[in-house]
Structure 1
Amino acid sequence: MKKLIGTGVALVTPFHTDLSIDYPSLQRIIEHVLQGGVDYLVVMGTTAESATLSSKEKKDVLAFSRKVLKGRLPLVYGLGGNATQAVLNELEETDFSGVDALLSVSPYYNKPSQSGIIQHYEAIADACPVPVILYNVPGRTMSNMTAATTLHLAEHPNIIGMKEASGNLEQCMQIAHKKPDDFLLISGDDMITTALKAIGAEGLISVLANAYPAIISSIIHGDSESSKKSTFKLLEINPLMYEESNPVGVKCLMNHLGLCENTVRLPLAAASENLCERIISAANHLEKEQVMDTQVG
């Protein structure tokens, strides 16, 4: 569990313009975030467009990431779905060597009851060879995991944490207040991480860390003032990341930074010209602010 305290980056999957996986860019991104001071990597989360990758592609990306990483940092693998048995089958077919934990999103589209969510995760945790991190993101799944559900699942010996992306601070406070000491509360929203830190969150799994790993790491590892300052730097650019869905915005930003092509797979469409212009403008403002901070420092 202690390996996964800090900043995790939800890696994008870079594509060539022909939509094949761009492995040289993936290696470049991994080295970029390592240099930025992140604490662990998340491969095949929702930011990775995992819904559009085949089972073989997912396993290939995991194997490549593991090869590039060479054990330098912990590795978390994203694997979830809305058919519990299909997830269990995928678990059996996946090589978990070098993987420290599984990140599994709450079942989407089906809108299961809280009892169904609990049984789904218990089946996964019972079968998974590595510890499991829950992932609550109602904006994508259209169902919310309540604090009571999270706290119930926190008692399972193979469930070690929750990536909370509900945006519901009161719900997060209920989890933080009553969770076991060895259960991780992980922010799933870059911009409310400073607030969640104040109530006991142990880290963040971030989208913007793909582009700005050092700034995101300072939100987690800095004191309250530096954490706030780093968060405020992202106020202009962060909402643009989600305006046309994630990872559309961050891929446009990463293309601007020379990290990968601005290419996504359908049904996502590449960022519109207007959105890209605003992202680049916000990135330039942020760069100027960083330069000024360096000069002052």
Structure 2
Amino acid sequence: MNKFYGTGVAMITPFNADGSIDFDGLKNLINFQIEGGVEYLVSLGTTGESATLSKDEKKAVWEFTAETVAGRVPLVAGIGGNATSEVTESIKKFNTQGYDAILSVSPYYNKPIQEGIYQHYKAIAEVSPLPVILYNVPGRTGSNIAADTTLRLASDFKNIIAIKEASGNFEQFNIVLRDKPEDFLFISGDDPLTLPLIALGAAGVISVAGNALPGLCSSMVRLCLQKKFDEALPIHFRLTNFLKLLFCDGSPGGIKAALKHLNICSDTLRLPLVGVGEATREKITQELEKLK
């Protein structure tokens, strides 16, 4: 699955002031990403505030995104949840036209044991018409996909092709990267960890920062994949302050503030999320100007 090497961007969902979906802003964002040189796009992952969108809204965003991308880059759809039957039904009904894979977050809130996580993804793999990317983000879900479970799923299901790992657990990273099947991709789910993870064998990143800095982020990742770490490291360090600011008042509030400054779209979020504080906004703007 070479199409998922490099930089994928977990796109935000732009909203109008009244909370409705801003499709003009979404078009601006998609074109900005592609012109910036990213390798693929992820529609309605966590960064896209997918938990606050209705089924009809999700369908509209997915279809609009596929039409706007028009085959220029690969596309991934975020389809996950904590009720396995609902997730599998959503996948069965999903219009796959224009999409190359499904990213599915580990079940949240329920806190399943490892066998429950395995059976959840088994059910997804058995119905999915597209390759599946696991998504491990314990800070949001309340449970972790253990290394042994990832390796078991990678071995048992050929259409489970990758994991987006955002656990921050290097002991776990090392085990998966050491023991995974050769064709199973390990993708960084944390922008600040991308360089060291590629050094260990990761295929790239699904990035939040790439929404605002697609050129810089994708350039760094390409250098890393070419093993030009001496050239990539200065970019990594240049991004450090910006990455910290993006998350200090919550995500995707930080990246939406950056996109508003770039005139890509507004910074409106849906409750319970709110925008960043003015002090953080000013710092994001200042750092973004340095990086531009």
TM-score of the alignment, normalized to the shorter chain, above 0.5: yes
Q: Provide the aligned C-alpha RMSD in A.
A: 0.9
The code of the aligned residue for 1:269 comes to V
8 Å CA contact retained: 1:78, 1:102: yes
Q: Please give the residue correspondences for 1:1-297 in structure 2 after superposition, counting only pairs within 5 Å.
A: 1-155=1-155, 156-222=157-223, 223-287=228-292
Q: Give unmatched runs, 5+ long, in structure 2.
A: none
CA distance in 2, matches of 1:134, 1:5: 15
8 Å CA contact retained: 2:191, 2:209: yes
The Cα of 1:286 is off from its aligned counterpart by 2.5
The Cα of 1:195 is off from its aligned counterpart by 0.3
CA distance in 2, matches of 1:245, 1:116: 29
The Cα of 1:173 is off from its aligned counterpart by 1.1
CA distance in 2, matches of 1:157, 1:284: 44
| Greater mean alpha carbon deviation, residues 238-247 or residues 159-168 | 238-247
The Cα of 1:226 is off from its aligned counterpart by 2.2
The Cα of 1:6 is off from its aligned counterpart by 1.1
The code of the aligned residue for 2:266 comes to E
8 Å CA contact retained: 2:9, 2:41: yes
The Cα of 1:285 is off from its aligned counterpart by 2.9
After superposition, what is the alpha-carbon deviation per residue over 1:48-85, rounded to whole angstroms, capped at 9, x for unaligned?
00000001111111100101111011100000000000
CA distance in 2, matches of 1:10, 1:41: 6
- TM-score, normalised to structure 1, is 0.95
The code of the aligned residue for 1:32 comes to F
The code of the aligned residue for 2:173 comes to C
CA distance in 1, matches of 2:146, 2:250: 24
After superposition, what is the alpha-carbon deviation per residue over 1:116-159, rounded to whole angstroms, capped at 9, x for unaligned?
00000000011110000000001100111111110001011110
The Cα of 1:281 is off from its aligned counterpart by 1.9
The code of the aligned residue for 1:264 comes to L
Instruction: Give every structure 1 segment of 4 or more consecutive aligned residues whose post-TM-superposition deviation is greater than 6 Å.
Output: none
8 Å CA contact retained: 2:36, 2:214: yes
The Cα of 1:220 is off from its aligned counterpart by 1.2
8 Å CA contact retained: 1:193, 1:219: no
The size of the alignment, in residue pairs, is 287
Question: Match for residue 290 of structure 1?
Answer: none
SS in 1 for 2:143: coil
Q: Give the fraction of aligned pairs with identical amino acids, expressed as a percent.
A: 50
The code of the aligned residue for 2:270 comes to R
